[in-house]
Chains A and B, each alone.
Chain A
Amino acid sequence: MDMTGEHRISAPRETVWAALNDAEVLRACIPGCEELEKKSDTELSALVVQKIGPVKAKFRGDVELSNINAPASYTIRGEGSGGVAGFAKGGADVSLSEDGAETVLSYEVQATVGGKLARLGSRLIDSTAKKLAAQFFDNFQAYLNEAEAKPAE
């Protein structure tokens, strides 16, 4: 699966960058994310529950950040296994550009799936990925709005 997109976020680039590197923020914003643990500055481990078509599974996997060019861009790569439900692996190049007070986040995703996920859900991967991306950005924007409203925390 290949997916590219752009999302405009109402927050300064530094704020967006910091949030994108904050495990707690990501855990709260990634749909279905139950656990997200930072193992080092560039490594995280995650547990995500997802339903794609008829396949519902817990995907456990590791995520690695590379090509870090703060606060402009990074590459995020990961691999998650859902046991018999299959696996997903892939990566995304993410870049942030300033547009006045706002930030434009662009991403290019390449991912592959295997196992039951591929057999039963491959036709639904693209639409599911788009839906999950939209949910993530909604959550992410909501989080930033909330953080701005309560800057003391």
Chain B
Amino acid sequence: MSDGIGARVERKEDKRFITGKGKYTDDIRMDNQAYAAFVRCPVAHAKINGIDSSAAMAMEGVIAVHTGPEMKADEIGDIITGWSITSKDGSPMQCGVWNPMVTTYGRYVGDAVAVVVAETQDIARAAAEVVELDYEELPAVAAADVALTDGAPQVHENVPGNLIFNWEIGDEAKTEAAMAGAHHVTELDITNNRLAPNPMEPRSAVATYDEAEDHYTLYTTSQNPHVARLVLSAFYNVAPEHKLRVIAPDVGGGFGSKIYIYPEELTCLWASMKTGRSVKWTSDRSEAFMTDAHGRDHVTKAKMGFDADGNIVAFHVDTIANIGAYVSLFATATPTYLYGTLWSGTYAMPAIYGTVRAVHTNTVPVDAYRGAGRPEATYMIERMMETASREMGIHPAELRRRNFVKEFPYQTEVILQYDSGDYFKMLDEGEKAADVAGFAARKADSAARGKLRGLGYSTFVEACGIAPSAAVGSLGAAVGLWESCEVRVNPVGTVEVLTGSHSHGQGHETTFAQLVSDRFGIPIDNVQIVHGDTDKVQMGMGTYGSRSGPVGMSAVVKALDKVEEKAKKIAAHTLEASEDDIVIENGEVKVAGTDKKMGWHEVGLAAYIAHNLPEGMEPGLKETAFYDPLNFSFPSGALICEVEVDPDTGVTDIVKFTAVDDFGTIINPNIVEGQVHGGVTQGIGQAMLEQVVYDETGQLITGSYMDYCMPRADDVPSFTLDHTCTPSPLNPLGVKGCGEAGAIGAPPAVINAITDAIGSNDLQMPATPLAVWTALQANKTAMAAE
């Protein structure tokens, strides 16, 4: 069947997106709809002494102004975190309390202080401007390393020294001993720059309280509406689950930032109850920069020890992670179990040890952003490898090959066990596709034109398909991370797949339908994917961590297995054959080796007409499955970046970018390539352009696209992509996940290429022309001094 697994079919959903017919949260219009706007803390740290809303209330069209203390009085819960981390001394983590709206202290610029509800958005925003805050400004701190210094301003009274936890992983004694005996030790200070997620669609919510039914409905921009309902219900006390419906309709990108259940969406629900109106809030771009959870923001000291042959003997990491003013949902897992567990990279490292200190600062919370911990790990490891190869005079590809994991499954020193892979093959293919052999000639050609050419490698492995429930439970996760699926075959044979995965750009409406098409031989147009509505899909864990393939699709396969089994029973009964002889092909259900057959739709019809079913069989053809993964899946890749630097200006041109990925089984190459294009582009953005900046007082000074530089089409080359395939042995399709790979693998490839070109390892992201030029000048000075 041409629509099945591996087919390069066009995305079904694109027709409505491209023609402007997508239906996003802000497109929802309720009767009796009012609009919310938030009054926000103007400074990074303040004690709010009073809120004067009289001028706002006097404005025509203003319905209400509500504040944090009122919310508290209504017993709305504080914002929670979903993963408990234990410090290396055995003590539990210390987190500051996050009131959805400030009760006393505002702790970052943008902290919500009050909400204005008005007849129009313009009135709400204008009224929010005239709400007067009487506040006392307090000392603030924005940088995590500064927050740890003696005498630094305290973000929360109950978190001494701003230290949330000091976590460790690996074997300290073994690592120190191996490091002491190393032939060569490479050391590097590495900053992982803070990023704003910037999904195309900003966050939005439309909340409706129905007094007659005592029921709430929330339309919102969520990657996981069921988790949102669970949290809003069980922790925020909005309403019990059966009295709360959460719908995440078309969602225009998330990159992690729409996993979390933020104060604004919660406040809309509460405000709807308070005012008796539907309440809509839509973030503007500046508000998104200020309040969407940021990503990354690590400061790391790393040491890697090698023997005389270039084999890694020890790896030591010391990281400070900026968590921001409050601990967001995945904020504690991201710099620990999604980061430290990947420190072995693609290499067999016999000894690894490191610590991560998570720190409160007066900045917006930092949480998972495309890759979540794995980009930080990969950037660090791959810069270390490239730097070590230069210091030891071993070609970077050769140093990698010497250290690659050779046999699978491979148990790392940092908890994870890699499922499968062939790192040699992907690097071989990558070097061929990148024409590494021709690099010397291209470099000479650049030199003849006065340009510097550089080549940078990155070989990564990452963990997708979060997560085996019991395993993550033992590591501190509050919930298991399985997935659910219900497959409904209609009487006419069309199929609806209800999934707990959520598509906000991933193309599930196409790829999930391909699984059905592959199984029953019906066109994908006969399959409807239903997701994102807690009234339709009973329960699910949503989409993040490249889990929709390895976990979400595995649930689909499990449900399809059950449907297939029942369909075969019905067909065997109808065709008077043995169940074992029934095959389903091209939309037909046949008795193998005979001409006896019935159409797929006839099986569906027979199940519902129910005149002639096997004895004891229930009518209908609908099955449900829950799938809990056995392990993470471990996609890997070899990325090779080639740059040309203008030494006079520092302007860097990426002339070629090659990515050879092993994603296991590929369902739709078209969609996988799109994911790689997007991921690599975001990775190039991090490497060369993007940087959130707070000044020393905690003011956000990159609050618009004038100051925060996003990658554009002309910042990236036409990518050279290829794939190798070692299917994951641990899930039924053998898929590994591809959503984050590009963002994980690309930044070190870019920086390694630039540092190769300029002959200096002293460069941090983003490698702006100024940063590259400055590194070049420093290098010239250093060489002149020698």
On chain A, the residues within 8 Å of B290 by CB distance are 119
Interchain CB contact (< 8 A) of B286 among A112, A120, A122: A120
A32 cross-chain contacts in B, Cβ below 8 A: none
Asked if B640 is at the interface of the complex by the 8 Å CB criterion, the answer is no
Hey, which chain B residues are within 8 Å of A119, CB to CB?
A: 286, 289-290, 699-704
Contact A120 B706 (CB under 8 A): yes
A87 on interface, CB distance cutoff 8 Å: yes
Instruction: Provide the bound-state CA to CA distance between A53 and B707, in Å.
Output: 12
B43 interface hit (Cβ, 8 Å): yes
Bound CA–CA A116/B289 (angstroms): 11
A3 to B128, CA, bound (A): 34
B579 at interface (Cβ–Cβ under 8 A)? Answer: no
Q: Is the CB of B647 closer than 8 A to any CB of chain A?
A: no
Chain B residues near A114: list those with CB within 8 A: 42-43, 109, 697, 699
Taking each of B43, B697, B701, which has the highest tally of chain A beta carbons within 10 Å of its own beta carbon? B701
Closest to B694 in A: A118
- Residues of B contacting A87 in the complex (Cβ-Cβ under 8 angstroms): 42
CA distance A118 to B140 in the complex (A): 16
Out of B128, B697, B703, name the residue touching A116 (CB < 8 Å).
B703
61-119 of chain A: CB within 8 A of chain B = 83-84, 86-87, 112-116, 118-119
The answer for the CA separation of A83 and B286 in the assembled complex, in Å, is 16
Interface 0/1 of B679-704, CB less than 8 Å to A? 00000000000000001010111111
- How many A residues face the partner with a CB closer than 8 A? 16
Closest to B696 in A: A112
A83, B130: Cβ atoms under 8 Å? yes
Q: Which residues of B contact A120 (CB under 8 A)?
A: 286, 703-704, 706-707
CB-nearest residue of chain B to A119 = B703
C-beta contact mask, B695-733 vs A, less than 8 Å → 1, else 0?
101011111101100000000000000000000000000
Assess whether A51 is interfacial by the CB under 8 Å rule.
no
B695/A122 in contact, CB under 8 A: yes
A30 to B272: give the CA distance in the assembly, Å: 47
CB distance from B705 to the nearest CB of A (A): 10
- In Å, the complex CA distance between A122 and B697 comes to 13
- Residues 641-700 of B contacting A (Cβ, < 8 Å): 695, 697, 699-700
Interface residues of B in 583-630 (CB under 8 A from A): none
Closest residue to B128 on the A side, CB-wise?
A: A84
- Give the complex CA separation of A87 and B41 in angstroms: 12
Inter-chain contacts of A118 with B (CB < 8 A) = 109, 695, 699-701, 703
In the complex, A123 has a CB within 8 A of chain B: yes
The complex places the Cα of A86 from the Cα of B46 at a distance, in Å, of 15
Q: Is B129 an interface residue (CB 8 A)?
A: yes
Task: Give chain B residues whose Cβ lies under 8 Å from the Cβ of A84.
Answer: 128-129
Q: Which residues of A contact B695 (CB under 8 A)?
A: 112, 118, 122
Query: Which residue of B has the minimal Cβ distance to A53?
Result: B706
* CB proximity of B695 to chain A, nearest CB, Å: 7
0/1 string, A43-54, CB within 8 A of B gives 1: 000000000011
Of the candidates A54, A115, A118, the one having the most CB atoms from chain B within 10 angstroms of its own CB is A118
- Shortest distance in angstroms between A129's beta carbon and chain B's nearest beta carbon? 15
A72: shortest Cβ distance to chain B, in Å? 32
Closest residue of B by beta carbon distance from A89 = B137
User: Do the beta carbons of A123 and B707 come within 8 Å of each other?
Assistant: yes
Within 8 A of A (CB), among B99-130: 109, 128-130
Could you give, for residues 18-47 of chain B, a 1 whenever the CB lies within 8 Å of some chain A CB and a 0 otherwise? 000000000000000000000000110000
* B-contact bits for A116-153, CB 8 A (1 contact / 0 none): 10111011000000000000000000000000000000
**With a CB–CB cut-off of 8 A, which chain B residues contact A86?**
42
Q: How far apart sit A123 and B707, CA to CA, in the bound complex (Å)? A: 8
Q: Which residues of B contact A112 (CB under 8 A)?
A: 695, 697, 699
Would A122 and B42 count as touching, CB distance under 8 A?
no
- A87, B44: Cα distance in complex, Å: 13
Q: How far is the CB of A34 from chain B (nearest CB, A)?
A: 18
A113 to B695: give the CA distance in the assembly, Å.
10
Which residues of A have CB within 8 Å of B707?
120, 122-123
The answer to whether A116 and B109 touch (CB under 8 A), given A53-B706, A84-B128, A87-B42, is: no
Q: Which residues of B contact A113 (CB under 8 A)?
A: 699
A119 to B701 CA separation, bound complex (whole angstroms): 4
Q: Are B703 and A83 in contact (CB-based, < 8 A)?
A: no
**B128, B697, B706 — which one has the most chain A CB atoms within 10 A of its CB?**
B706
Distance A113 CA – B697 CA, assembled complex (angstroms): 9
The complex places the Cα of A105 from the Cα of B301 at a distance, in Å, of 49
Output the residue of A53, A112, A122 with the most chain B CB within 10 A. Answer: A122
Q: How far is the CB of A87 from chain B (nearest CB, A)?
A: 7
CA of A10 to CA of B193, assembled, Å: 51
Q: How far does the alpha carbon of A114 sit from the alpha carbon of B362 in the complex, in Å?
A: 14
In the bound complex, how far is the Cα of B699 from the Cα of A118, in angstroms? 7
Chain A residues with CB below 8 A from B129, complex form: 83-84
Please give, as numbers and ranges, the residues of chain A lying within 8 Å of B706 by CB-CB distance. 53-54, 120, 123
A86 to B286, CA, bound (A): 13
Kindly report which residue of chain A lies nearest to residue B287, judged by CB atoms: A119
A61 CB, min distance to chain B CBs, angstroms: 14
A132 to B707, CA, bound (A): 22
B700 contacts which chain A residues (CB < 8 A)? 118-119
Cα separation A87 to B129 with both chains bound (whole Å) = 13
Contact string against B for A residues 5-49, beta-carbon threshold 8 Å, 1 for contact and 0 otherwise? 000000000000000000000000000000000000000000000
Having A114-B697, A115-B699, A118-B695, one finds 15 other A-B pairs with CB under 8 Å, namely: A53-B706, A83-B130, A84-B129, A87-B42, A112-B695, A112-B697, A112-B699, A116-B286, A118-B109, A118-B700, A119-B699, A119-B701, A120-B704, A122-B701, A123-B707
20 A/B residue pairs, CB under 8 Å, sorted by A:
A53-B706, A83-B129, A83-B130, A112-B695, A112-B699, A113-B699, A114-B42, A114-B43, A115-B109, A118-B109, A118-B695, A118-B703, A119-B289, A119-B290, A119-B701, A119-B703, A119-B704, A122-B699, A122-B701, A123-B701
| Chain A residues near B (Cβ < 8 Å) | 53-54, 83-84, 86-87, 112-116, 118-120, 122-123
Please list the residues of chain B having a beta carbon within 8 angstroms of any beta carbon in chain A: 42-43, 109, 128-130, 286, 289-290, 695, 697, 699-704, 706-707
| Nearest 3 CB-CB pairings of A with B | A119-B703, A122-B701, A118-B699
